[in-house]
Chains A and B, each alone.
Chain A
Amino acid sequence: MNCVALPRMSSKTHSSNNIAHARRTVQQLKIEASIERIKVSKASADLMNYCSEHARNDPLLMGIPTSDNPFKDKKPCTIL
């Protein structure tokens, strides 16, 4: 479970504020702890699949041939 550090409480804070704050923190932690989780093996497999399925649509990964590069410096004459 992920642990969240509780913020420091000033000793001058009224004790009922402390309790209310601590209750809200515990409530939030309970919500976060109760979510459904999948296995990391499945999650990693899905990430790898996503990358391989989309690799060919990734110009930065595959490289861009100079002729198709929209950012290259324009020559003075272009053939329309």
Chain B
Amino acid sequence: MVSASQDGKLLIWDTFTGNKLVAVPLKSAWVMSVAFAPSGNLVASGGLDNMCTVYNIKAASPKTLRELDAHTGYLSCCRFLSDSEILTASGDTTCCLWDLETGKQKIIFTNHIGDCMSLALSGDMNTFISGACDSLAKLWDLREGTCKQTFSGHTSDINAISFFPSGNAVITGSDDCSCKMYDLRSDQEVIGYQDTSLNAGVTSLALSNSGRLIFAGYDDFNCHIWDSLKGEKVGVLSGHDNRVSCTGVPEDGMGVCTGSWDSFLKLWN
């Protein structure tokens, strides 16, 4: 697992033992996003420096491979397609596909009118989804560079977005304290996840392997668990002493990890 903190470090962990395997000092401590390449050879991070820095962690000591510098706003999210391509989302309202071999932008995705906060890649890597401060979620064609669909309904910034594992739906989490599921093929919202007792914004979310459970991190220091089909809260992960800022489920689906402003990462199952 890779994590980055505003203490200026990027860490790679063995999640079974809790040991730190690699530590990468960050040039800029104001990190907002971190990503692992599917190969495990590269990691990327970025934030208020407006750049996405890619590191080779398989070298004897971690080496900076590329500094991707063209966004005019903060880097809010980055995701690798492979060791040669990475997608970034930025506070400058654009998303961008980069060629890691040249370090240049291949495609710039423009259509949002607010800071892009989060993105997620489809399983087949032909499309991706983005959530932004304009309260919209958008589906993009990765190769054509065009926006295919727009989903509205949230009344505030969308901070988190994820594909449902079938690839046919999208889950979003917002500062309006709700999560929503939008179905791609019917082009509309199908379920909302909100509770009058929950008055905190959603910062992050991750789904269990079947898509049945949504783990959503909130500003109220908890990660609440929703039944994605029934729209009901089914549990809560309490234990952090500050806002939960990131949530993730590994590929084998064996647990869920929450990261918080309390500086801890907790693994739950």
A60: min CB distance to chain B, Å: 4
Contacts of A36-56 to chain B: CB distance below 8 A: 37-40, 42-44, 46-48, 50-51, 54-55
Flag if A39 contacts B256 (CB, 8 Å). Answer: no
Task: Give the residue of A5, A39, A47, A71 whose beta carbon is less than 8 angstroms from that of B269.
Answer: A71
The chain A residue sitting closest to B169, CB to CB, is: A47
Task: Give the residue of A2, A31, A46 whose beta carbon is less than 8 angstroms from that of B151.
Answer: A2
Flag if B213 contacts A60 (CB, 8 Å). Answer: yes
A35 interface residue per 8 A CB criterion = yes
Contacts of B236-269 to chain A: CB distance below 8 A: 249, 252-256, 267, 269
Flag if B267 contacts A71 (CB, 8 Å). Answer: yes
Write the B207-221 contact mask toward A (1 if CB under 8 angstroms, else 0). Answer: 011111100000000
Write the A3-20 contact mask toward B (1 if CB under 8 angstroms, else 0). Answer: 111010000000000000
Flag if B164 contacts A47 (CB, 8 Å). Answer: yes
The secondary-structure label for the interface of chain B is loop
B188 interface residue per 8 A CB criterion = yes
CA distance A42 to B15 in the complex (A): 39
* Residues in A whose Cβ lies below 8 Å from that of B187: 2, 35, 37
**Would A54 and B190 be within 8 Å (CB), given that A2-B150, A64-B254 are in contact?**
no
B17 interface residue per 8 A CB criterion = yes
Most chain A beta carbons < 10 A, residue from B17, B187, B210, B269: B210
Flag if A71 contacts B254 (CB, 8 Å). Answer: yes
The chain B residue sitting closest to A54, CB to CB, is: B210
* Residues in A whose Cβ lies below 8 Å from that of B188: 40
* Residues in A whose Cβ lies below 8 Å from that of B149: 32, 35
**Would A54 and B209 be within 8 Å (CB), given that A40-B190, A71-B16 are in contact?**
yes
A42: min CB distance to chain B, Å: 8
Task: Give the residue of B111, B136, B253 whose beta carbon is less than 8 angstroms from that of A60.
Answer: B253
* Residues in B whose Cβ lies below 8 Å from that of A76: none
Flag if A43 contacts B185 (CB, 8 Å). Answer: yes
B103 interface residue per 8 A CB criterion = no
CA distance A58 to B146 in the complex (A): 34
A75 interface residue per 8 A CB criterion = no
B244: min CB distance to chain A, Å: 17
Task: Give the residue of B146, B152, B267 whose beta carbon is less than 8 angstroms from that of A3.
Answer: B152
B229 interface residue per 8 A CB criterion = yes
* Residues in A whose Cβ lies below 8 Å from that of B166: 46-47, 50
CA distance A32 to B255 in the complex (A): 37
Task: Give the residue of B16, B168, B183, B252 whose beta carbon is less than 8 angstroms from that of A59.
Answer: B252
Task: Give the residue of B229, B249, B252 whose beta carbon is less than 8 angstroms from that of A47.
Answer: B229
* Residues in A whose Cβ lies below 8 Å from that of B151: 2
* Residues in B whose Cβ lies below 8 Å from that of A39: 186
Query: 15 interchain pairs (CB within 8 A)?
Result: A3-B152, A4-B136, A4-B150, A28-B111, A46-B168, A47-B164, A47-B169, A47-B229, A50-B165, A51-B211, A54-B210, A55-B210, A55-B212, A58-B253, A60-B256
Given contacts A5-B134, A37-B185, A47-B169, 5 further A-B contacts (CB under 8 A): A47-B164, A50-B168, A59-B209, A71-B255, A74-B17
Residues of B in contact with A (beta carbons under 8 Å apart): 15-17, 111, 113, 134, 136, 146-152, 164-166, 168-169, 183, 185-188, 190, 208-213, 228-229, 249, 252-256, 267, 269
